[in-house]
Structure 1
Amino acid sequence: MRSPRVGGGLFVTGTDTGVGKTFIACAIARNWRAIGVDVAPRKPVESGCPERDGHLFPADAALLAAAAGLPASRIGEVNRYRLAEPLAPDLAARLAGRPLHLADLVTACARPEGAWRITEGAGGFYSPMCEDGLNADLAQALGDPVLLVAEDRLGTLSGCLLALEALDRRGLTLAGIVLNRRRGDAHPAMDNRMTLAQRSSCPVWSIPEGAPQDEVDQMFSASSSSMVSPPEPGSAGSNP
């Protein structure tokens, strides 16, 4: 299933929930915006939304909108489906009495002509997103290169390598791997970045614990990877 108005950008997924996908997606959005690219962030469904002024508020989508320079009034373009329960989106939607389907999410990810899309999934690559699809299915439907985010800790190698195998089986392009150090208790000899770099043919970034926003932004700005760098401004309007 492919939409005629999707197919250019980056799909940000993770090995698990809470690994820093939004943080990384925002850094890339700011980087692209800084060089004049029209960024269209998309987080089609967000669960665990708190109520604000009588409405559910998608906190991650709000961060993505701000990173792309969009006003608060345009958050609806970033996030179409907001769910209250802090559960996998398929279950949260079912409990809300509004089951979602893959076609709904693909439509919600459509981008304007000339924009470069960053789509953030929900949970891990094989986490359910809707009644008939996983994050992996949405990534496959959109066809964008995939950036994998994982927590840099003991045990993360298995999750990363399984995700890489799944990407390969689905014929998806791997843009790179981001290891996000969220805890300071790692053994000094552990080097997940080196191990993954040896076992994959993509860039691998390692973000130190507590790294400031500007340092992370610069990390992606300095990247020479064509998969994480958008096309020249004005050339992103062609849809496959």
Structure 2
Amino acid sequence: MTAFFIAGTDTDVGKTTIAAGLLNAARQAGLSTAAIKPVASGSQVTTAGLRNADALALQAQCQPPLDYALVNPLAFEPAIAPHIAAQEAGVELSVATLRPGIERVLARRADFTLVEGAGGWRVPLDRGETLADLAIALQLPVVLVVGVRLGCINHALLSVEAIQRDGLPLAGWVANIVDPGTSRLEQNLATLAECMPAACLGTVPRLDVPDAEAVAACLSLAPLGLVARS
């Protein structure tokens, strides 16, 4: 079993897009997959209950299939910071409440498992805790999604500094081009490649339809130590 925590340099940098692509790449390599987004805000009311689009995208890449309740134990309707959504719903949001759901997914021992955070590295939970504390408790190596746009180098290096200060290894990173009009794009990518202390798993261009298979074609699992099954 190999598991990673997916973090982003900010909100709306494409964490789920990249996570789904990584899971799809693993499936194409013949590996079993599992994923969990322990808390998600911005969910839709359905006849089956609240459903979050990001969690559904992850669920679609789990093989063997996982029930939605396993993939997304806590969903909130407002598209706001998770800790505020939880407070408004009267739900305790903490490492202690989120960890059991993650451990249930990890216990399935898929070949490749991803735990996706929300927003950036220091997104608050409650009682002074952050999502970083959850990653620390699980002792998972981190894959960082860098949303490539103006300012991304600073955001990336500060995120890496925080991850390493928290005692977790950076297993790899992905350059996700969220703004293809970024000035000096190639120079920015070169600077990231030079400064980041881990392997780049790939550069994902801005895709008109960012489906998991198209994203997977831009990524490599080799730096994560994953080998295709024969």
State the distance in 1 between where 2:185 and 2:70 align: 44
Given the two structures, how large is their TM-score scaled by the length of structure 2? 0.88
**Contact kept? 2:26, 2:221, Cα under 8 Å:** no
CA change 1:232–1:181 in 2 (3 A) is closer
Q: Aligned pair 1:209/2:206, yes or no? A: yes
Q: Deviations over 1:176-215 (max 9, x none)?
A: 2212112232224652221122112312232222275434
2:37 equivalent in structure 1:
43
Cα displacement (A) at 1:127: 1.1
Match of 1:64 among 44, 55, 58: 58
2:182 corresponds to 1:186: yes
Say which of 193, 196, 200 aligns to 2:192.
196
- Of 69, 73, 79 in structure 2, the residue corresponding to residue 80 of structure 1 is 73
**Distance in structure 1 (CA, Å) of the matches to 2:174 and 2:125:** 22
Question: What corresponds to 1:91 in structure 2?
Answer: 84
- The CA deviation at 1:96 is 0.4
2:93 is aligned with 1:112: no
Structure 1 58/20 Cα, relative in aligned 2: closer, same or farther at 3 Å? same
CA contact (8 A) 2:22 2:221 kept: no
Cα distance change, pair 198–102 in 1 and its aligned pair in 2 (3 A): same
Against the structure 1 CA distance between its residues 120 and 96, is the aligned structure 2 distance closer, same or farther, given a 3 Å change threshold?
same
Q: Is the 8 A contact 1:184 1:209 kept in 2?
A: yes
Matches within 5 A, 1:84-233: 84-110=77-103, 111-115=106-110, 116-188=112-184, 190-204=186-200, 205-210=202-207, 213=211, 214-220=213-219, 222-225=220-223, 227=224, 229-230=225-226
Matched position secondary structure for 2:6: strand
Looking at structure 1, the residues matched to 194 and 144 of structure 2 have their Cα atoms a distance apart, in angstroms, of 16
Q: Which residue of 1 aligns with 2:6?
A: 12
Instruction: Find the partner of 1:31 among 7, 18, 25.
Output: 25
What is the one-letter code of the residue matched to 1:64?
Answer: L
Identity of aligned residues (%): 34
* Aligned AA (1:112): A
Aligned residues: 223
Deviation at 1:54, TM superposition (A): 6.4
SS state at 2:87 partner: helix
- For normalisation by structure 1, the TM-score amounts to 0.84
Which stretches in structure 1 are left out of the alignment for 5+ residues?
A: 1-6, 234-240
Shift of 1:223: 4.4
CA RMSD of aligned residues (A): 2.2
DSSP-derived class of the 2:20 partner:
helix
Say if 1:8 and 1:144, in contact at 8 Å, map to a contact too: no
Q: 1:28 to 1:130 in 2, by over 3 A?
A: farther
Secondary structure, counterpart of 1:109 in structure 2: helix
* Equivalent pair of 2:33/2:61 in contact (CA under 8 Å): no
**Which stretch shifts more, 17-26 or 138-147?**
138-147
